[in-house]
Amino acid sequence: MDGTDYEWNPKNGRPKLAEPGPFASEMQDRQRDIAQNGAEPWNDPVEVRRARRRRDMELLRLGAMETAFHMVDHVAGRLPAWKGEVFEHVKDPLASLANLNRSIIQITLNEDRLDETGEERALRIKAEAEAEVRARHEAEAARLQAEATLRKAENKRQVEGAIRAITLSSLGLNYHDRETLLAGLFKELETGEAYDGDPEATVADLCLRLGIGPKDKGADPKLIRERRAALAKLARAHLEALRGPHMPADDDEPACDETIVAFTHAAKAQGPPN
């Protein structure tokens, strides 16, 4: 299939070209049967068409392998000049060889599929469908996990910033004592699910634990709810200040001006960053 006569004397010039290879001739004959003689191979029985495709894949793989071997000899300098002339126009022989090898592997894999029985093919299709569904579920779970991680990190930032500002203006502690207290508190929150919920509710609960806000007079549930609501409002004001300015909606409750001013002063006097 090399298209040359091996009995060649260099003194006689270029070698005499032989007839086209048998693979190309067969393809030409089959094309002529379809275009001129009205052949309809696609209407043949399934097993006949599969066998024909299997044979075509075999011929294609052999042709690709022959080209790959010639490319290897050309790169190694073993290919005669009259055979390697066509490869002289290849800009990157190594990259072309890698692509050709990849194509040969793909052809071989397709040949394996054509060798499958009907039962094997059904099992493979079922396994591929199950793998695709499983991959989609895993990708969705990974996406949700990433969103939850980002949301938890943002909630942590807001909660810790608000608590630092509130305690700075509400607790009479120096910087070192306050940071020591908050470090233990934040470490405890890391081990639980406090940062997974609403940061406003988390800040309000922490304020209750730290004894910030109006004191309860007895165990009256109404007074406890009122104190909880007041702390939630305080937490909301600080969280909004941490998030930055925004356009309030019509149903938004205006933040207490005194709270915002206190937060601003507290943020300026907060001390060195941690």
Exposed, middle or buried, 114 (CB in 10 Å: 0-12/13-18/19+)? Answer: middle
d(CA 219, CA 224): 7
Residues 97 and 68 sit within 8 Å (Cβ to Cβ): yes
Grouping H, G, I as helix, E, B as strand and the rest as coil, residue 130 is helix
pLDDT score of 123? 92
Supply the pTM of this predicted model.
Answer: 0.45
Share of the chain above pLDDT 70, in %: 73
pLDDT digits over 222-262, tens only? Answer: 666 666 677 777 777 777 766 655 444 455 554 444 444 44
Supply angle C-alpha 262, 245, 250, rounded to 5.
105
What is the phi/psi pair of residue 17, to 5°? -75, 140
pLDDT digits over 5-64, tens only? Answer: 445 455 555 555 556 677 778 888 888 888 988 889 889 898 888 888 888 888 889 889
pLDDT score of 102? 92
Residues 79 and 68 sit within 8 Å (Cβ to Cβ): no
Closest to 202 measured CA to CA, from 153, 159, 165, 150: 159
pLDDT score of 213? 62
Number of other residues whose CB lies within 10 A of the CB of residue 60: 16
pLDDT score of 126? 93
